[in-house]
Amino acid sequence: MDIIFYHPSFDTQFWLDKLSQALPDARVREWKPGDNEPADYALVWHPPVDMLQGRSLKAVFALGAGVDSILSQLNAHPDMLPESIPLFRLEDTGMALQMQEYAVSQVLHWFRRFDDYHAQKQQARWQELDEYQREDFTIGILGAGVLGSKVAESLQAWGFPLRCWSRSRKSWPGVQSFAGENELGNFLQGTRVLINLLPNTSETRGIINVSLLNQLADNAYLLNLARGVHVVEDDLLQALESGKLKGAMLDVFSKEPLPASSPLWAHPRVAMTPHIAAVTRPNEAIDYIARTITKLEQGEPVTGQVDRTRGY
């Protein structure tokens, strides 16, 4: 069994060594331009087209929770990866816990009004503020996949009203579920904190725009943990300036790194991190990949395969 590996920034030798230990019967190598030798599996992130094109692979693994970079390449080069070759994304390889940590810490930051106290600190003001009430702090999660379910689960312990929106209705205990375009408005009405965990698809790009933001509760907050292309940044700034949004926490942007000229950098009610909400943790990812390849080789059922038409 031959495995080829490509990632533009990971420690390649570490991955090769660990994969060889996890799959001792496999021959694992780094793919380099000009390598046309046979391979059974490809492990990739932003792969060059010629890495995959023309190969008879058993499966391709994207080294992250999202596969939009591969799907966008397929739009331009449909023959890069035939439909018959399964495409897998990393499932819960430590990312869910990271998302839970991020979401809970930020929701509590806003709920306890630490953003307001920080603003007062900048003005040397000592003033106690009225507390927010949990029943008025409804949290809405856009996207109800694995990560969305884990984030909802982590927030339940804090007693906030919770709701989710997705293509199909969910049956999560203690979470009100909305489904489909017809129910998006009802989902948004009264939502005080909007957490975005949507997949990147043609239907979801630009979904967080002025129309959507205006349907949220007044003084709402936006937490974007999915993809920057979901948010129309000019509309976000407009909602912040109008007061409809009280604050935004952004981990992802339409252009990364975020250009120094972006007005988001200087906006006093925008906080940001450099796409670190949930990073690939090598040991967990390698364990998942090794287990999945072993099951594929033995003809056993597996999870994590991407539906290319849906984009996730």
Domain range list for the chain = 2-92+280-310, 95-272
The region that residue 145 occupies, defined by phi over 0 for left and psi between -120 and 50 for alpha, beta otherwise, is beta
Residue 266 CA from chain centroid, whole number: 25
| C-beta separation of 267 from 243 below 8 A | no
What is residue 76's predicted lDDT score, i.e. its pLDDT? 92
* Mean of the per-residue pLDDT values of the chain: 96
Task: Please give the positions annotated as active site.
Answer: 227, 275
Tokens linked to 23: 């799959």
The residue ranking higher by pLDDT, 311 or 38, is: 38
**Is 95-272 the same fold as 2-92+280-310?**
yes
Dump pLDDT digits (tens) for 227-247: 999 999 999 999 999 999 999
The predicted model scores a pTM of 0.93
> What are the pLDDT digits (tens) for 250-277?
999 999 999 999 999 999 999 999 999 9
Does the pLDDT at position 131 exceed 90? yes
Tell me the C-alpha distance between 2 and 12, whole Å.
Answer: 16
Residues 271 and 247 sit within 8 Å (Cβ to Cβ): yes
Determine the Cα–Cα distance for residues 267 and 184; give it in Å rounded to an integer. 29
Cα 245 off chain centre by: 22
Mean of pLDDT values over 157-163? 97
Each residue's pLDDT tens digit, 61-102: 999 888 988 998 999 999 999 999 999 999 878 999 999 999
pLDDT surpasses 90 at 217: yes
Nearest to 290 by CA among 308, 278, 302: 302
CATH homologous superfamily for 95-272?
Answer: NAD(P)-binding Rossmann-like Domain (3.40.50.720)
Which CATH architecture best describes the domain 2-92+280-310? 3-Layer(aba) Sandwich (3.40)
